[in-house]
Structures are given as structure tokens and as C-alpha cells.
Amino acid sequence: MNDSALQRFLDALTWLDMLLWGAVLLVTLLGIVWLLRTEKRQYDRRGKGRGWGWMRLLALPMLAVTAAVIIVPARSISGPEALGYVYIALFTLGPLTWFGLHWLLGAMQSPRLTRGESFGLALTGLAILIVPPMIVGMAQGPIFTASHQMKERGFASADQAPLAHAAMPVQRFRLDAAGEIYTQTLQAPAGIRIERIDSRTGGDWSNTATKMHAYFCRQGEDLHLAWPVGSRLVPLRIHWRDGQGKRYQAEYQVDDAALPNLQAQDFVVGWRDDGIDLPVPLMRDVVQFGWGEAPDKIHYRSLDMLQPGENFENDCVMAGYRRVAWQQEGPIAGVILRFHPGLSAEAWQAEIRRSP
């Protein structure tokens, strides 16, 4: 996990997540401390407390040797055989090394540890290594459920307010003979932070972060909408925080009454050697770029692979879009825009090619 991924993970934690995970880790730690103290008292009563202490100090070196027995030979093996070796060694050489080292070092203590005592220390050592990850794995589901329910209640209880974004005028574009689209920008004022965007299908609201949405994209705190003429944009519910951190929510739906009277304008693409300029921001899910040496040999690919500096949260193809590797790829030769009107109509696409 790199630093940015770790930071996103930490930022996503709520106070409830931290409280519950803290409780799980504390209980686990207390259980390990109780086990070690109980074990130490037993060996003190036998007059072998010093030997117990040395065995526990040597546990990490013994673990390192056991891991090396499994991993080092596997690194010299290529292909699926390496994985096969790891599986076999994990249940043969690994346990033999771990228990063998405990028996050998236990026999070197003064007074000498019996074979049963050495194997007992090996078993409790394995328990300390294995049980905590198992507890964490078992706690993930309940903690996620509790945290999710708390988040949902927080969003549902947010104050209703007028939409903070300024709704820019709807525009209508003609994509040659393929079809026409409407576009609109919801421009955010300074100081707000969008937390979530829901869409309504039928009578149910759902978080758009968990599904594909080929009708809007986000750039910073601005939203850019695009939908085919003849279809309706689904209602949206936007959750945001203001500059003081207070949470609000507002529903937004485009006023369809005046849309049929809008005059369509041509969708004019600006071509550059290092990228492309679309007349309006569009969702990267609907855009494909093509490269080729000849107009009849253009190969298109989607934008599901991010370039350095890009992320899926800011998922608009904006004016000024630049290909990082444009010198190796060459100029963009064509663009395909694919739209999905909904379940009642078939998807359609428009292909726009660069003039020779």
C-alpha cells in the first residue's frame, strides 16, 4: 500500500471505525498480555522463568529462520512451481523448522525445558501469530456493517437546503447524424466539499460511487452532466459540507420544459498534437480515443487506464486534456462518444475523426 492509498484509507475512517477497531485491537493486545503473563507464572513456579524469557526473546529470530526456509528457495524457482513449493513448505518444512528450533533451543536452557514445554511454547507462539489476524478478519464484516449504517443515518439526517451549486444553462449539441445530447454544468461555490452523490431509480436512492454513471462526471467540486436528447436525466441528490463543516443535502432535477426549444450547435472538437479539446466536459466512461497511421486503420481504446496524476474521482475529460505519452503515441486520430439512453432505448455512438 503506497502513501496515497494509505492516506485515502485513513481519511475514510470515521470516529466509529476508529473506536471499534481500537476496541478490537485493545482486546487482542490484552489477550496476548494475559496469555504471556499466565504462561510466565507457570514457568516461574517450575523454576524455569529465565528459560521462558529467553525462549520468548528468541521467538522473532526463530520466526525469521522459518520464513527464510519457506521464502528463500521459492525465489530461486520460477513459474507456478514456486507457488507449489511455498504451499508444500508451509505445511512441512515450516512447521518442522519452527518446532525443531523450539525443541533445540529449549534443550539448551538451564534448567532444561522438556520436549512438551518446548512444543507448548511453539504452539502458543503460533497462536500469537495466527489468532490476531483471524480476529481482525472476523471483525471486518460487523464493523463495516455498523459503520455503513452510521454513515447512512448521518447522510439521511443532514439538513435540506437549496442546491449550493450554480446551475449553468443547458446546451444542446449535434454529433453529426448519430444523435444529439444535452449538457449542463453545476458550478460549486468556493469552500464546499461534495461528500456523496445519489441517483434515484424508480423510488430508490443509491450511491453513484458504487456503480457506473454515464450521465455525469465530477471535476473538483463541479459536476458536469450530459445525456442524450430524448431521454431524461435521473434525479440527483447531492450531499456536501460547507466551509464550517456542516453537512447539507439537496435534490436536483433538470427542468425538461424548455429543452425541446433549444437550438442544437455542432460538437466541434479541437485537435492538438499532445491531446484534445472537447467543447464541453464529458464523462471518461463515454469517451474512447483512437490512433492510427491511416484514416481507415484507427484503433480505439477506452480511458479506463489512468495516466500519472489522474484519478477516478475527477473523471471528466476536460478541455485541455493532454496525453502524457503523446510523443510515443502520436496525435489522437479520432474520438468515439458512446451514450446509453436507458433501458428503453439502444446505446448509440458518434465517431469524430481528425481531418488529414
- DSSP states of 135-160 as a string? HHHHHHHHHHHHHHHHHHHHHHTSEE
Beta bridge partners of 339: 348
Q: Is the pTM of this model over 0.75?
A: no
Residue with cell 455503513: 148
pLDDT at 344 (0 to 100) = 65
Q: Which helix (H) or strand (E) holds 71?
A: helix 59-75
Collapse the DSSP code of 120 into the 3-class scheme (helix H, G, I; strand E, B; otherwise coil) and give the result.
helix
Interstrand relation of 222-228 and 216-219 (parallel, antiparallel or unpaired)? antiparallel
- Write down the pLDDT at residue 341: 77
Regions in the chain scoring below 50 on pLDDT: 1
**Contacts for 8 with CB less than 8 Å, ≥ 6 apart:** none
Q: Is residue 118 within 8 Å of residue 59, measured between CB atoms?
A: no
Per-residue pLDDT at 322: 95
CA 316, CA 283: separation in Å to the nearest integer? Answer: 5
